[in-house]
Amino acid sequence: MEGLDYINSITEALDPATREKYDAMIQEVMKHLEEPGKAEGFLMQAREALAEYPEVLKQHDAIYMRPDRPVSVVLAQMREAMALKEAMTGKKAEEE
């Protein structure tokens, strides 16, 4: 399973209101990748939304908050991935 598909699969266990809040916070993270402080704040809010779901919280932390990879590194990797995706999408559009 890749990226957001994996994240969507781990959030299936959430009640609709919690899932909506979590998804909204993750969308904010993605919108603010160029502002690491804001992105990290939204990521923490997303994490807090999972407080009643320890198994989902554990999966969230495995993705975003590993001790061997600080949040700042994760966000930088996400920025790089989005830039690469945009570059690849732009190339495909030019080729067509």
Reduced to 3 states (helix: H, G, I; strand: E, B; else coil), residue 68 is coil
Q: Rounded to 10 degrees, what is the CA torsion of 87, 79, 49, 27?
A: -30
The tally of domains found in the chain comes to 1
The per-residue pLDDT for 94 is: 58
Query: In terms of pTM, does the model score above 0.85?
Result: no
**Domain ranges, residue 59:** 3-95
Tell me the pLDDT tens digit for each residue of 48-61.
Answer: 999 999 999 999 99
CA distance 96 to 81: 23
CA distance 78 to 7: 14
